């Protein structure tokens, strides 16, 4: 049964031993990958979720931080736009202090910790002080960024070697005189004129294809294709800013994944879960997960005295979301009950609630669409009905059940919603937003006062939300389920 606030990546049970976690006083350098939270290794996520503190960069870490449980402390040692970076000595001091205080420390570094990230210096410093360190490699942006737009770094016919360079070394100089079929530059946007000049001087043709990918695998991903001759102008006119990877070589002309050629707008997900239906509505679009609320199990108040009656033969319990199922299971456990006492009939509103019940081997007797009053009538008329949901629920569903003839329809509080601060969003990269509950729809204008509604598509669950999204001023409104 669900016993804690469950994280979707809970490695509590790790039968395959893929996880392994840092011990108190250890520092683990974990590769955060290029930005997509799914591009962190399983061991990386396992270490992150077991950490007491995550000492993180800015690059590559944003989406992971958005998914961190609230009890894990965060220390930002990354450079903010327009600010100076923290000195390496200061970062060392923080890691030492945290480890010596007995914390399980994850040092989260963009991409792979050992590619241009000064990870080796951090390891050397900690080892010199006998602080245990482990390395969890990451997906480097050098390869993942071109890959995100379908450009390989090698190709049997045209590229049998690649080299990864920095746009500037310690002295601010560009490494030159390296021969490889594919040249990849990190931190290469500022140095692009020198990069182009050095490759032309080395005899590469001005027609050599170039691809430049900024913010790869994040919702801000943007790329352009050019040639050595046109790259500088193209970057200037598109206004490309770091972080970006520059790939120069024949593979940049390969279109191995033509569906990745455009720059699709991102989907902002405001709910506590990422709905499965997004893949059909916006296939392959980058996701930006900024939940406006987190579901919390109830701990401080006693389980509802109604619980036994709601489970009795002849009663209905209605669920309208994942937290309502998981919170209800948690309440059963708190009340000393288990699935053997569940004699009532079960109704799921929406596919996600139905799937969650089934995951716990509870087959819903009916699955209703969000506002299918007729179906509700046919089921609950004359029956006592409980709605398992948040404490203090004020949505329309209870009234609907009563109108459908439930006798009576009663609230069964099984969880709470804690409001979250979604932080700033760069709207020019966003094409649509999901609105999957009245609660997130209501909070949307306050949480995102600068959202350009007229330009955005709202992906809504149910007719009520669609109507309200239209009234709010969304340019387009589309059904999500
Ligand atoms: N250790 C990192 C690199 C750190 S240096 C890695 O393995 O990826 C920082 C540079 O990495 C940036 O200037 C940029 O060139 C590149 N970079 C990091 N994340 C990126 C991303 N999501 N998209 C494009 N380039 C990225």
Arithmetic mean of pLDDT over the chain: 91
For residue 333, count CB atoms less than 10 angstroms from its CB and return exposed for 0-12, middle for 13-18, buried for 19 or more: middle
383 contacts 314 by C-beta, under 8 angstroms: yes
Cα 136 to ligand 1 centre (Å): 17
Question: Is 172 a domain residue?
Answer: yes
162 contacts 182 by C-beta, under 8 angstroms: yes
Question: Is 260 a domain residue?
Answer: no
Do 191 and 102 belong to one domain? no
The DSSP string of 291-342 is: -SEEEEE--SSPPPTTHHHHTSTT-EEEE-SHHHHHHHHHHHHHTT--GGG-
Question: CA–CA separation, 464 vs 448, rounded Å?
Answer: 21
Q: Sheet containing 457-460: which strands, arranged edge to edge?
A: 287-289, 266-269, 430-435, 457-460, 476-479
At 337, list the tokens.
Answer: 């009950």
Ligand 1 near 19 CB (within 6 A):
no
Tell me what pLDDT residue 267 has. Answer: 93
Tell me what pLDDT residue 370 has. Answer: 73
Question: Is 1 a domain residue?
Answer: no
Do 304 and 415 belong to one domain? yes
Question: Is 5 a domain residue?
Answer: no
pLDDT at position 1 over 70: no
Tell me what pLDDT residue 129 has. Answer: 98
Q: What is the pLDDT of residues 22-73, one digit of tens each?
A: 999 999 999 999 999 999 999 999 999 999 999 999 899 999 998 888 889 9
pLDDT range class, residue 84, cuts 50, 70, 90 = confident
β-pair partners for 432: 267, 457
The DSSP string of 33-54 is: BSS-GGGS-HHHHHHHHH-SEE
Do 239 and 313 belong to one domain? no
> Residue 280: which H helix or E strand, with range?
helix 278-281
Q: What is the pLDDT of residues 91-148, one digit of tens each?
A: 999 999 999 999 999 999 999 999 998 999 999 999 999 999 999 999 999 999 999 9
Number of domains in the chain: 4
Question: CA–CA separation, 394 vs 240, rounded Å?
Answer: 46
Give, using CA atoms, the residue closest to atom 18 of ligand 1.
Answer: 141
Average pLDDT over residues 149-178: 90
CATH for 244: 3.30.950.10
pLDDT at position 18 over 50: yes
Q: What is the pLDDT of residues 391-427, one digit of tens each?
A: 989 888 899 899 988 888 999 999 999 898 888 899 9
Long-range CB pairs of 5-10 (<8 Å, 24+ gap) are: 5/69, 5/295, 5/296, 5/297, 6/326, 7/49, 7/69, 9/45, 9/46, 9/49, 9/67, 10/49
Residue 188 Cα: closest atom of ligand 1: 15
Q: What is the pLDDT of residues 267-323, one digit of tens each?
A: 999 988 788 888 888 877 888 999 999 889 998 889 999 999 999 999 999 999 899
pLDDT at position 177 over 90: no
Cα 106 to ligand 1 centre (Å): 19
Question: CA–CA separation, 104 vs 71, rounded Å?
Answer: 13
Annotated catalytic residue, options 36, 57, 112, 416 = 57
β-strand pairing of 73-76 with 457-460: unpaired
pLDDT at position 155 over 90: yes
Ligand 1 near 247 CB (within 6 A):
no
Give, using CA atoms, the residue closest to atom 14 of ligand 1.
Answer: 243
pLDDT range class, residue 82, cuts 50, 70, 90 = low
223 contacts 260 by C-beta, under 8 angstroms: no
Tell me what pLDDT residue 20 has. Answer: 81
Alpha-carbon distance values, 77 to 84, 111, 243, 431 (Å): 10, 16, 17, 31
CATH for 273: 3.40.50.10090
Ligand 1 near 221 CB (within 6 A):
no
Question: CA–CA separation, 184 vs 162, rounded Å?
Answer: 7
Tell me what pLDDT residue 28 has. Answer: 98
Gyration radius from the chain CA atoms:
26
Give, using CA atoms, the residue closest to atom 11 of ligand 1.
Answer: 186
Do 331 and 270 belong to one domain? no
Question: Is 439 a domain residue?
Answer: yes
Residue with tokens 């509870």: 362
Tell me what pLDDT residue 261 has. Answer: 60
Q: Sheet containing 293-297: which strands, arranged edge to edge?
A: 293-297, 409-419, 385-390, 316-319, 345-349, 366-368
pLDDT range class, residue 170, cuts 50, 70, 90 = confident
Do 96 and 32 belong to one domain? yes
Ligand 1 near 46 CB (within 6 A):
no
Cα 238 to ligand 1 centre (Å): 19
Question: Is 10 a domain residue?
Answer: no
412 contacts 332 by C-beta, under 8 angstroms: no
pLDDT range class, residue 389, cuts 50, 70, 90 = very high
Tell me what pLDDT residue 4 has. Answer: 47
pLDDT at position 3 over 70: no
* 57 in active site: yes
Tell me what pLDDT residue 313 has. Answer: 95
Contacts of 51 (CB under 8 A, 6+ apart): 22, 28, 72, 103, 104, 105, 106
Alpha-carbon distance values, 89 to 84, 342, 366 (Å): 14, 59, 61
At 133, list the tokens.
Answer: 């360190």
pLDDT range class, residue 2, cuts 50, 70, 90 = very low
Mutate to test the pocket of ligand 1, among 33, 37, 110 (most ligand atoms within 8 A of CB): 110
Tell me what pLDDT residue 262 has. Answer: 65
Q: Among candidates 81, 70, 62, 65, which has minimal Cα distance to 5?
A: 70
β-pair partners for 29: 107, 135
Tell me what pLDDT residue 411 has. Answer: 95
Cα 186 to ligand 1 centre (Å): 6
Question: Is 86 a domain residue?
Answer: yes
Tell me what pLDDT residue 169 has. Answer: 75
Q: What is the pLDDT of residues 339-385, one digit of tens each?
A: 999 999 999 998 889 999 999 999 999 999 877 878 888 888 899 99
- Structural domain span for residue 454: 266-292+420-479
Ligand 1 near 215 CB (within 6 A):
yes
pLDDT at position 193 over 80: yes
Domain boundary among 370, 404, 419: 419
Q: Tell me the pTM.
A: 0.84
Do 278 and 370 belong to one domain? no
Ligand 1 near 35 CB (within 6 A):
yes
Annotated catalytic residue, options 10, 86, 187, 464 = 187
Ligand 1 near 119 CB (within 6 A):
no
Do 415 and 425 belong to one domain? no
């Amino acid at each position: 049964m669900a016993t804690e606030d469950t994280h979707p990546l809970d490695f509590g049970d790790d039968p395959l031993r893929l996880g392994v976690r840092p011990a108190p006083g250890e520092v683990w350098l974990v590769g955060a990958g290029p930005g997509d939270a799914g591009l962190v290794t399983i061991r990386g996520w396992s270490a992150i979720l077991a950490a007491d503190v995550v000492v993180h960069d800015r690059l590559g870490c944003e989406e992971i931080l958005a998914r961190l449980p609230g009890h894990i402390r965060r220390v930002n040692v990354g450079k903010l736009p327009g600010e100076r970076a923290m000195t390496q000595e200061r970062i060392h001091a923080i890691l030492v202090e945290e480890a010596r205080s007995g914390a399980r420390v994850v040092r989260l570094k963009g991409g792979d910790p050992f590619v241009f990230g000064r990870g080796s210096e951090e390891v050397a410093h900690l080892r010199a002080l006998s602080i245990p360190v482990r390395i969890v490699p990451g997906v480097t942006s050098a390869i993942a960024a071109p890959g995100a737009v379908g450009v390989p770094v090698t190709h049997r016919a045209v590229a049998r070697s690649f080299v990864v360079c920095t746009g500037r070394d310690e002295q601010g100089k560009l490494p030159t005189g390296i021969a490889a079929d594919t040249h990849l530059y990190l931190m290469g946007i500022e140095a692009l004129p020198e990069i182009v000049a050095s490759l032309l001087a080395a005899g590469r043709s001005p027609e050599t294809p170039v691809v430049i990918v900024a913010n790869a695998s994040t919702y801000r991903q943007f790329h352009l294709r050019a040639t050595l001759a046109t790259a500088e102008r193209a970057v200037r006119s598109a206004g490309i800013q770091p972080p970006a990877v520059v790939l120069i070589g024949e593979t940049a002309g390969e279109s191995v994944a033509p569906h990745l050629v455009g720059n699709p707008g991102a989907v902002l997900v405001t709910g506590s879960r990422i709905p499965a239906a997004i893949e059909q509505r916006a296939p392959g679009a980058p996701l930006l997960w900024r939940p406006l609320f987190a579901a919390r199990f109830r701990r401080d108040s006693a389980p509802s005295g109604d619980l036994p009656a709601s489970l009795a033969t002849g009663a209905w319990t209605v669920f309208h979301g994942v937290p309502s199922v998981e919170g209800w299971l948690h309440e059963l456990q708190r009340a000393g009950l288990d699935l053997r006492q569940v004699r009532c009939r079960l109704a799921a509103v929406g596919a996600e609630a139905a799937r969650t019940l089934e995951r716990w081997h509870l087959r819903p007797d009916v699955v209703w669409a969000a506002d299918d009053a007729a179906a509700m009538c046919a089921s609950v008329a004359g029956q006592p009905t409980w709605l398992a949901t948040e404490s203090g629920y004020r949505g329309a569903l209870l009234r609907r059940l009563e109108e459908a003839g439930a006798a009576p329809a009663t609230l069964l509080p099984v969880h709470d919603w804690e409001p979250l601060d979604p932080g700033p969003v760069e709207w020019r990269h966003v094409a649509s937003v999901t609105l999957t509950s009245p609660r997130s729809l209501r909070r949307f204008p306050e949480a995102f006062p600068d959202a350009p509604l007229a330009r955005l598509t709202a992906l809504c669950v149910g007719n009520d939300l669609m109507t309200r999204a239209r009234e709010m001023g969304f340019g387009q409104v589309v059904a999500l389920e």
